[in-house]
Structure 1
């Protein structure tokens, strides 16, 4: 069995998708198969004609999302204010490809960015509206946070060792004492209410816009039920100033949840910066998180 993730996603290409369609979904075998312009790491996505997409996990760790999304996307969709992926069919391993895979309905839209979003403050409110609607969905029987969600929705303590190691690597490069204080504040807080739905990766790459406004939220692979703090991270990675305050006000979460949100944002920025990747972006996120934490300190 090929490890597609370790082998740089080798073997996943348009020809494989054509062969899988011919074997398993002959009704779509004649559709043109083209890679999408902006693709992720966890999955490779191909457009099938004008109406469908094929989404293939790149490693075994990402395959749990196929069944989860196939079951729960139809349940969540009616309660959410914007479009989310529509599960059309679920594929089986075949043609040398070892994992289950998904066919979804194509969603039009541009990936969210400072260039494609016309009103950042309005956009922040729209994201908050989506999160609040998701929180209100019935979580009964939903997938409890764990390995399938890469522990989004669980306490951030799962990533404590990684965070401590990153802080050691970055000593002298950032204010590691203050960063450690932020992390300890995140660990000291807990979600003490019933579990709720979370998306797990509300980031610009998973947000689509049309005419400058939020039109869809995609990629529910890390979704589940648990603590929603991880869904607030976009406050530090995409918003700032008035747009962050609009988001904070509209999403209406308590101080403890924001402490854990800062922990989630800090963890990811620390480990990425420690690996010397996306240096400027992650330094900025760390600075924003530390400044926001400082603002919460009592005189």
Structure 2
């Protein structure tokens, strides 16, 4: 159910298309995925309909994608979902929605990256292309500023996972976090960020990256936020190569901050994988293994430093 108590069905999506984009209404339609914020319905072979269905803030995230992704997508070396049409609120469905291109592939939480060198190179190339200075009117994030501003979030996550006995080395995780928040803040210009590069938002084929989806957290900020994804996405032995091939090469302070962002993302993954999040029932079991692997890599990195 949506926040407006309207059930999203194939018939509803078809009616919305008939009303606003009738040239697309006859295409085959089937449910693609239900995320935290949006439902995605595949439309034919090359399009998808994304509709907000849970959190009220999802409306703004879709409108942000529609506003910014068409200009950013041509600059990126991997396929991303490019908005093609905008659906406006109506009494039938009083929220905005979009039609985007469909990006084929399997989410990395279901088909992890296995080609270490290729995956490291592909991720570095993607972030190098994305992390260009953002314009002054670029959007901000959902309460995500400097890493030090996330202290309460970390404390809540850490208490939850340790209280449930879900961490193999809580002292090691705490040491990674404390080192990260002690790192100098970024002084360079804010760059474009994906902002949510967890395994379910990265697509794979044959062990390598083949696409990136869900740009709802697209914003300007510190590249350390996205560089954190290396520990969460890449297989063992690939993170060092990723840092070597990144352009521009991240400095030591950026990598320290990135480890902190990686801890936050991994703790989210552990909690979601084990028991769900934010009052939603159940969890997503496929989120747990990559999150635990990321924490193991992060602790080992700090121990070797």
Q: TM-score, normalised by structure 1?
A: 0.84
Over residues 57-107 of structure 1, what are the superposed CA-to-partner deviations in whole Å (9 max), with x where a residue is unaligned? 222212222221112112112221122222111111235433211101223
Structure 2 Cα separation of the partners of residues 144 and 50 of structure 1: 31
Kindly state the Cα deviation for residue 285 of structure 1 after the two structures are TM-superposed.
2.5
Q: 1:168/1:228 Cα in 2 relative to 1: closer, same or farther (>3 Å)?
A: same
Kindly state the Cα deviation for residue 32 of structure 1 after the two structures are TM-superposed.
2.2
Structure 2 Cα separation of the partners of residues 62 and 2 of structure 1: 11
Structure 1 Cα separation of the partners of residues 89 and 73 of structure 2: 27
Equivalent residue runs for 1:225-240 within 5 Å = 225-240=220-235
Structure 2 Cα separation of the partners of residues 2 and 168 of structure 1: 31
Q: Which runs of 5+ in 2 are unaligned?
A: 276-284
Q: 1:101/1:167 Cα in 2 relative to 1: closer, same or farther (>3 Å)?
A: same
Helix, strand or coil: the match of 1:53? strand
Q: Pick one of 61, 83, 90 that aligns with 2:79.
A: 83
Equivalent residue runs for 1:35-50 within 5 Å = 35-36=31-32, 38-50=33-45
Residue 254, structure 1, aligned to residue 251, structure 2: yes
Structure 1 Cα separation of the partners of residues 214 and 96 of structure 2: 16
Over residues 137-189 of structure 1, what are the superposed CA-to-partner deviations in whole Å (9 max), with x where a residue is unaligned? x4113524332xx52xx212333113113333416944434333322222223
The answer to whether the 8 Å contact 2:109/2:290 transfers is no
Kindly state the Cα deviation for residue 135 of structure 1 after the two structures are TM-superposed.
1.2
Structure 2 Cα separation of the partners of residues 267 and 196 of structure 1: 20
The answer to whether the 8 Å contact 1:20/1:95 transfers is no
The aligned counterpart of 2:298 is 289
Equivalent residue runs for 1:1-299 within 5 Å = 3=3, 11-36=7-32, 38-58=33-53, 59-112=55-108, 115=111, 117=113, 119-136=115-132, 138-147=133-142, 151=144, 154-169=145-160, 170=162, 173=165, 174=167, 175-189=169-183, 190-210=185-205, 212-251=207-246, 252-273=249-270, 276-277=274-275, 278=285, 280-296=289-305
Q: 1:116/1:280 Cα in 2 relative to 1: closer, same or farther (>3 Å)?
A: closer
Over residues 20-77 of structure 1, what are the superposed CA-to-partner deviations in whole Å (9 max), with x where a residue is unaligned? 11221122222222111x5422210001122321001222212222221112112112
The answer to whether the 8 Å contact 1:121/1:246 transfers is yes
Structure 1 Cα separation of the partners of residues 250 and 241 of structure 2: 12
Helix, strand or coil: the match of 1:82? coil
Equivalenced residue count is 286
- How much is the aligned-residue C-alpha RMSD, in angstroms? 2.7
Q: Which runs of 5+ in 1 are unaligned?
A: none
Q: 1:212/1:11 Cα in 2 relative to 1: closer, same or farther (>3 Å)?
A: same
Structure 2 Cα separation of the partners of residues 23 and 172 of structure 1: 49
Helix, strand or coil: the match of 1:63? helix
Helix, strand or coil: the match of 2:237? helix
Over residues 237-294 of structure 1, what are the superposed CA-to-partner deviations in whole Å (9 max), with x where a residue is unaligned? 2224331221121122122222222112212333554574455544333222111122
